[in-house]
Amino acid sequence: MYSSVATPAEARVDLAAIRHNVALLKERAGGAELMGAVKADAYGHGLLPTSEAVLEGGAGRLGTAFVREALELRAGGVTAPILAWLITPGEPLDEALTAGIELSAADVRLLDEIADAARRTGRTARMHLEADTGMSRGGSPLAAWPELLARALELRAEGVIEIAGLWSHLACADIPGHPSVGQQIEAYEAALKLADQAGAAGSEVIRHIANSAAIVTLPEARYDLVRPGIAMYGLSPVPELGDFGLRQAMTLVARIALAKRVTQGSGVSYGHLYTTEHETTLGLVPLGYADGVLRHATGRAEVLAGGRRRRIAGRVCMDQFMIDMGDDPLSAGDEVVLFGPGDGGEPTAQEWADTLGTITHEIVTRIGSRVPRVHRNVTKGTSRRR
């Protein structure tokens, strides 16, 4: 356990904001069940405390990319249904089935590997079959979909698997009006029709394709279940359409480690990309690219210090960067806010993403393990720190 006083930086996570966002998304889902995507350490927000808040906010299920993430949730006491969807050869499938983890498959090879684990453990595998409807990433191509369905039905008849879901993923739901969205919905409907004709799409089988962007913009994509990810953390899935009433949950802060006076013309950090225009005070902020502050934030991204926005001065280093504080009375120990919800005038994660030419997903998930997550507005039984 870390003391927040002793750490040079911390990511403060407002669990009340996450609960608010999930409740808002549940309302927008129009009756569809929610599966909260908590992969990648809950998008950098801390897996267990955040997952508990997601469930408290109204999600009925959780989704992870990898089996090990799902097993970590089970080890932490989470009993809600969990789907792990990115499975490579050699994963601990026996352990996953014993823990009641639902699994995804997009080809016969993986389906058979999971069936073998089911035979060894005596646990029926609850399977979500994934169709590739046009993203060309995961999923079974529609040409191979009948073969996958046929094998799944054989294994269901044997009693080693249960077909729990039929799903896909949208490539461009965050681009309003993109023609691929309608094409993918049509392809998904075709996959569902084939499953229905084969006898693999009963009323108990969950249909799901909608991500965060689809929840707020595509009512026709909601089906039985929706899978919010980035929106749960208060970051807009379609920034050009606004924030949809979401509240940003993470605030990244650091404390000035060193403040020192330098002369006019002083070169700052590697390469001297920044040179002071007059005598000034420089502040050393103990966060760098090892902690997720992108190196190309150099001279571009802003922070809030002493009530004012200040641009990063000079090259971002592995463990630190500098800000030019002018003649303001800032000193070691004073707080610097890299990004937050913007309530105090600080940059938001969306501003950082726009400035650096990326998406908010990367801004929050890159925050490294040296930065403790401090969870606020915790309910009874929720862990306060990762």
Strand partners, 312: 323
Specify the 3-state DSSP secondary structure of 273: coil
Other residues' Cβ atoms within 10 Å of the Cβ of residue 181? 23
- Nearest one of 248, 289, 240 to 269, comparing CA atoms: 289
Amino acid making up residue 158: E
DSSP letter (8 states) at residue 329: -
Q: Distance between CA atoms of 355 and 339, rounded to whole angstroms?
A: 12
DSSP strand pairing (280-285 vs 258-262): antiparallel
The H or E element that residue 351 is part of is: helix 349-356
What is the rounded distance in angstroms from the CA atom of residue 375 to the CA atom of residue 19? 13
Distance CA 277, CA 262 (A): 11
CB 80 within 8 A of CB 60: yes
- Residues 134 and 187: their CA atoms lie apart, in Å, by 8
CB-based burial label for 54 (10 Å; 0-12, 13-18, 19+) = buried
Residues 244/250/251/253 CA torsion (nearest 10 deg): -160
Rg of the chain in Å (alpha carbons): 24
Catalytic residues: 39, 270
For the chain, how many residues are written? 386
Query: How distant is the alpha carbon of residue 118 from its chain centre?
Result: 30
Q: Which two tokens stand for residue 295?
A: 């190196």
